[in-house]
Chain A
């Protein structure tokens, strides 16, 4: 706040000089300014029902602290009436600083050594749940590694990994109920994995074979499963956000015990649809949990080139949305935060924003070589020292719930399963040609029937022009 103070002094003296104003205008009581946020005010304590929580607290979030510091000027006691309600007025001209002196801290439970920080708020995780979470995080790692390699070998056309974001993927999924409708961006296959999508089903989509539920129409990693309440991935960024508001509203109208959960990266928050999605969810009071994976990079664009705000968490309040910043590489923090946010969303019928701080260890995709725009040292650091899987593993191991034997068994069996899944998916029959023309509309239209007929004739006449295996 010292900076603000100095600036206002400069303003005052320049006013004196330039406008020749009398000293009366300038007379102020320069009381020491209150900080914008205190530690106390920042924490949001939530009653964690029905499971016994670590501590029983009242439900309501602390009323948000003033963004603008208050002076003791008399004017503040008077209020003005405007559309939007009463607002106090001040004759002190002060600008809200572009940033607060302190960044919003991020909530974490596990320290870097995998031990729970004493007195941390968190939802307890049972052995069964913890082991499952760890297994899935490790499975995701193996899956990413093997599919990435398969692309390198030319067996699939494209892939993108979630390396470094395993805690976000698995722990958030674990905190949701199966009825919650997920609208992903594209770096959240772990959510689908958690819900029961098999390695074979992942492989089928990547190969676009006859068993792919998407019928081979989209690039690899564009998974979708209505059975698992996971909307099909689409490449355009952030389009899912206003859709999530609509989904949440639908659930609200159906009075379902469920919410919409949607994911976005740091880059995606620059899209207009981010603004649209949050604003609509807030105005419509829709139960939506917006989860932003702030992993530092949008392909080659660092977050310093993406926004000038303190990340994404500060944007929540601009929409009237409760928000929190979480250490995204801390599986327990992610789990607790998403659990709480989900409860708030459903019981209070409101949107919640969670910014998960993390790092994209992998390249953006198989079409990217991130060493071209960032230091290999930086990647290595995050991969080794800030690895979310290792951190959680340490905690699970320290509890006596996981052993090295379990580890090698899991890794080797998952690897084997994946290799088999890939081999099987590769050999699987291709989609029949008719699937090119289905589902454009609910019923094939005349022009499509004509085109299908024409194409079939062509293929029969000149099969060498076309890839084999697509039955007519």
Chain B
């Protein structure tokens, strides 16, 4: 209950920022670095402003983006860049992504918005059969690398089946696209700019829970955070925890509690799920000998399974315990049962302890 209340009542401190345990900064600064306290949707908004400003051949479109979007991520863009470049589309995800592929194939950057990740499925054919294979099937004569698909994902406390889903695992199984999930406002801005500018189609999931809840100092300038580089946001020796997006906040709370009981946890933000940074996780697990993965998506077939299998291959003899996965249940995302469904701090803490005491 406490964690549920905390979700509603507190503005969350962002993982890694308060503890100074982050390793080498992954942001590049140019000149004086003024920062501003921003929430996630404002950071995303800033990134979009910069993207459109720096590339006159870039476009932002999707349902309701014109007035600022249902999550305010696209505020001010239409007014500033014009309705030719920032516009509402008809209510049709396959059309949104298909249209975006066409624009991108002509050398433009199309940053399309799917209103909720739960509604991305009509576009699945365009993403998997078209965008992901566009370059490969044409022998590199054509590509739609300028396509970036943004969608809010994840639990929000009251979203139920169709406003809470974490569909990342479906997309991690598709060679040819990239899947990126930021954990905080500062990360989101840099990762989104990288995703937009990456010459491959990218699916960018934004943790909607953090749109307002997460506030962080975000540099105002144009900066990019590299894709496919995981970050150790908390150093430790006894167990490695791997996660992404909003779940890292929960995991960090578990790490703090574990520390009180003498367990030193290393926490890694994967950031890019496809292609994912196996080396950073491998190095960490070779040090700690234990791995715990946590994600909101249902445990069966979730991306945690891929990480677990890979680390088992690479670190088998170094492992002191089975790889632990603390994830959502194998049910559709429930409404009243959400507190039971979710991989909570205490579920993670229990798993940390049983892994360490194996």
Interfacial residues, chain A to chain B (CB-CB below 8 A): 181, 183, 212-215, 217-218, 222, 224-226, 231-232, 234, 236, 239, 241-251, 253-254, 260, 272-273, 275-277, 279-280, 283-284, 438-442, 445-447
Contact = CB atoms under 8 A, between A and B. Distances in A.
B92 A279 contact: yes
A447 B306 CA distance: 13
Given A213-B141, A239-B130, 7 more contacts: A214-B139, A246-B104, A246-B105, A273-B95, A441-B176, A446-B228, A446-B278
Contacts, number: 150
Contact of A231 (B100, B105, B129, B175): B105
B101 A446 contact: no
Interface string B209-222: 00000000000000
B138 A232 contact: yes
Contact of B129 (A234, A247, A275, A447): A234
Nearest to B136: A439
Contact of A250 (B94, B103, B140, B143): B103
B98 A245 contact: yes
B332 interface: no
Chain A at the B interface: SS class: mixed
A246 B133 contact: no
Interface of B: 84, 87, 89-90, 92, 94-95, 97-108, 110, 122, 125-126, 129-130, 133-143, 145, 175-176, 178, 199-200, 228, 275, 278-279
Nearest to B102: A246
A248 B84 CA distance: 13
Given A243-B130, A250-B108, A272-B122, A218 B94 contact: no
Contact of B136 (A213, A217, A246): A217
Contacts of A279: 90, 92, 95
B275 A446 contact: yes
Contacts of B279: 446
Given A243-B105, A243-B130, A217 B139 contact: yes
Contact of B200 (A246, A248, A442): A442
A438 B107 CA distance: 20
A242 B105 contact: no
A442 B143 contact: yes
Nearest to B141: A226
Contacts of B90: 276, 279-280, 283
B141 A224 contact: yes
A439 B100 contact: no
A234 B137 contact: yes
Given A246-B98, A250-B103, A280 B92 contact: yes
Contacts of A283: 89-90
B250 to A, nearest CB: 29
A276 B141 contact: no
Contact of B102 (A217, A245, A438): A245
B145 A246 contact: no
A446 B200 CA distance: 15
Nearest to A278: B95
A245 B145 CA distance: 18
A238 to B, nearest CB: 9
Nearest to A252: B84
Nearest to A256: B106
Given A234-B129, A242-B98, A445 B139 contact: no
Given A232-B141, A272-B122, A243 B135 contact: no
Contact of A251 (B87, B106, B142): B106
Contact of B142 (A232, A246, A275): A232
Contacts of B176: 440-441
Contacts of B142: 224, 226, 231-232
